[in-house]
Amino acid sequence: MRGMVTAGHGLHERSPDDACPGKYPLESRERAVRMYRAAEPKPVIRRMAEELGVHHEAPRNRIRQAEADAGERQDVLTTAEREELAALRKENAQLKRANEVLRTAPALFAAQLDPARPR
């Protein structure tokens, strides 16, 4: 496995146009997952990570996510499910803010219509 990582193309280098959040470039993360999935017998992830020069949890998390996306794991949300959950949480927060505005609107309108009325 050591020969698979070429000089100058380590997992810790970032491309300036890398749009994905995280410490390692997307290409390198995908390559680590492919290496793991193609290997027989399966390598020890900690050892593979040491050979790639990355923290052992980085490839472990990517491998788990790839397995979930492929339908091989039920204990981890797929990428699509994570995106949907994030969108629903964002929409929920917006609706809560809108509801709060609507709850306070009648009092504001009443105060504007009748300035003598106590609040």
- Amino acid in position 53: G
Nearest residue to 9 (alpha-carbon basis) of 21, 27, 36: 27
Question: How many C-beta neighbours within 10 Å does residue 89 have?
Answer: 10
> Is the CB of residue 24 less than 8 Å from the CB of residue 54?
yes
Q: Which runs of consecutive H residues, i.e. helices, occur in 1-119?
A: 26-38, 45-52, 57-69, 79-113
In the structure, what pLDDT confidence band is assigned to residue 3 with cuts at 50, 70 and 90?
A: very low
pLDDT digits (tens, 9 = 90+) for 4-41: 444 344 444 443 343 446 677 888 888 889 989 898 89
Least confident interval from 16-20, 60-64, 99-103: 16-20
Q: DSSP for 72-94, please give it.
A: --SSS--HHHHHHHHHHHHHHHH
pTM, 2 dp:
0.61
Interatomic CA distance for residues 19 and 16, integer angstroms: 8
User: Does 85 score more than 90 pLDDT?
Assistant: yes
